[in-house]
Amino acid sequence: MSEKYNAALGAFEQIKNIDGPLDIGIGTGSTTDIFTKEFLPKIRTNIHSLYSSSIRTTDLLKSLNFTVHKGKPNKILDLYIDGADEVDKDLNLIKGGGGAHTNEKIIAASANYFICIVDSSKLVETLGSFPLPIEVLAKDKENVIQRCQEYTQKITARENLSDSGNILLDLHEMQIFDPLQIEKEINDINGVVEVGIFAVNKPEIVIVGKDDGYNSIESSIA
């Protein structure tokens, strides 16, 4: 089996015996898609509600005959399950390669327990090799680009928009030594909707798929 499949399997084994019914948030991405297709149906009878982070995930869940709630959860969720584009040694993340990081962060903040599932290529010493996504209001695009040039001179805009119709920028060739501080600084820029650093809302556990199984890395912060 692939590393992504084994990471998804690890998430299933983490939650399969939890007493329910459960309120669960589902993220966006290729590894999360595997979990959703292969393992979420196995706990169907133990699910109370599902919250989706993106149009893509909503469509997938509906194709599997799940009822889906969209938007900000009006309750505390039991679990949030999602992937990541990079994970550092302290379990800080870069997310948003699929452009859904704003809604992903909203749902992650609403969950008691965030399980992040990744293949081993996503583990890094320092965040920033993967382009850092920022969702930006169109009218403030140039201002945000100018302000972000203090972090990197290589900034690109995607052709596609976010699910909310906003601009998506990518900051390339960064080295993010203090993810918590950089998350705050960029989010404080006028016109930024959300940056794809998950330091405030980092996971409680990261499950890393391997060729022959998976490893679990738990947060050292209680």
- The catalytic position among 3, 13, 86, 104 is 104
| Tokens linked to 46 | 């133990």
Task: Decide if 142 is catalytic.
Answer: no
Instruction: Tell me the CB-side half-sphere exposure of residue 207, using CA atoms within 13 A.
Output: 25
Core vs surface per residue 43-77: b (16+ CB within 10 A) or e: beeebebbbbbbebbbebbeeeebebbeeebeeeb
| Tokens linked to 34 | 């595997």
CA atoms of 186 and 222, how far apart (whole Å):
26
| Tokens linked to 47 | 């699910």
| Tokens linked to 157 | 């805009």
Query: What amino acid positions are annotated as catalytic residues?
Result: 104
